[in-house]
Amino acid sequence: MSAPRVLVVEHEKGTGPAQFGELLTAQGLDLHLCRPWDGDPVPKEPDGYDGLLVLGGSMGPYDVDRAPWLPTVCRLLRAAVARDLPTLGICLGMELLTVACGGKVRQAEHPEVGLCELAPLLPASRDELFAPLAQLDTPPCAVQWHWEETSVPPEGAVPLLTSARCAHQAYRIGTSVWGVQFHPEVLAGDIATWGTSDVGPLQALGLDPAAVVGHVAREERQLRTLWGGLAGRWAAVVTARRPAPPRD
């Protein structure tokens, strides 16, 4: 039997799947990277794939002039939701999932950048991906890098995580589709280039790019363990829910 196939949508150079890519591959998944920023066409349907991973980017979900492929990604996400296909939208990926399914995204009143605490909500304790976070003695931390956020989640979305500055940090649609506002896939080396390109916006928030990266670097071992576990659980969902091969 062939390996489960996952379509990975990358919106911008330097925003790849990072440690998630390594961990998912190690779990036996076959990743197919789609880079519309480099000319790759975005499929309108997830035919032939057992999972969908939609990554982040510096554009917003409504920035079609800058990223004209975004409406097609929204169509792809709607098709994934309709099939309850194992899906994970990260940061921009969550914002696109929100818009695709009838919710709303707005400019964040309090942008989050760097390492931030998350608070599991009650439904997280029964969620396949987030139940272990609800059992921690201390609040989990994750890397944030967003100036926009979900203001109105899609109808029926189950809230899973929140934070002091952003109400909707994670939700689930159906049984197999998740969106997260934070970046579980990145470590200090991944965001170093983000800090270089976003010097002005970070300074406007009173943040020093080097200090942000240094803070993440000091917590890297914990981040690898915490969010590497999430990657492993998502890989297990993709593998468990792939269709059975036809009988001869």
CATH number, position 12? 3.40.50.880
153, pLDDT greater than 90? yes
Cα 192 from Cα 92, distance rounded (Å): 19
Burial (CB count <10 Å: 0-12, 13-18, 19+), residue 169: buried
**One-letter amino acid of 69:** W
Instruction: Indicate whether 36 belongs to any domain.
Output: yes
Residue 24's pLDDT is what? 97
pLDDT one-digit tens code per residue, 182-211: 999 999 888 888 766 677 777 777 778 788
Average pLDDT over residues 138-166: 95
Residue 114's pLDDT is what? 87
Instruction: Indicate whether 60 belongs to any domain.
Output: yes
Q: In what order do the strands lie in the sheet with 158-162?
A: 30-34, 5-9, 51-54, 87-90, 177-180, 170-173, 158-162, 119-120
Residue 196's pLDDT is what? 66
Residue 148's pLDDT is what? 94
Rg (CA), the chain: 17
Average pLDDT over residues 148-170: 96
Instruction: Indicate whether 21 belongs to any domain.
Output: yes
181, pLDDT greater than 70? yes
Instruction: Indicate whether 245 belongs to any domain.
Output: no
Cα 6 from Cα 237, distance rounded (Å): 12
Instruction: Indicate whether 248 belongs to any domain.
Output: no
% of the chain residues with pLDDT over 90: 80
Query: Minimal CA–CA distance to 61: which of 83, 90, 85?
Result: 90
Overall number of domains in the chain: 1
Instruction: Indicate whether 247 belongs to any domain.
Output: no
DSSP 116-144: EE-EE-GGGGG-TTTHHHHT-SS--EEEE
Distances (CA, A) of 214 to 18, 146, 192, 203, 208: 18, 18, 9, 16, 10
Q: How much is the mean pLDDT over the chain?
A: 93
Residue 197's pLDDT is what? 66
Residue 150's pLDDT is what? 97
Domain of residue 121: give its range.
Answer: 5-240
pLDDT one-digit tens code per residue, 36-93: 999 999 999 999 999 999 999 999 999 999 999 999 999 999 999 999 999 999 999 9
Instruction: Indicate whether 219 belongs to any domain.
Output: yes
Cα 234 from Cα 126, distance rounded (Å): 15
- φ, ψ at 214 (rounded to 5°): -65, -40
Average pLDDT over residues 21-46: 97
Predicted TM-score (pTM) of this structure: 0.95
Instruction: Indicate whether 246 belongs to any domain.
Output: no
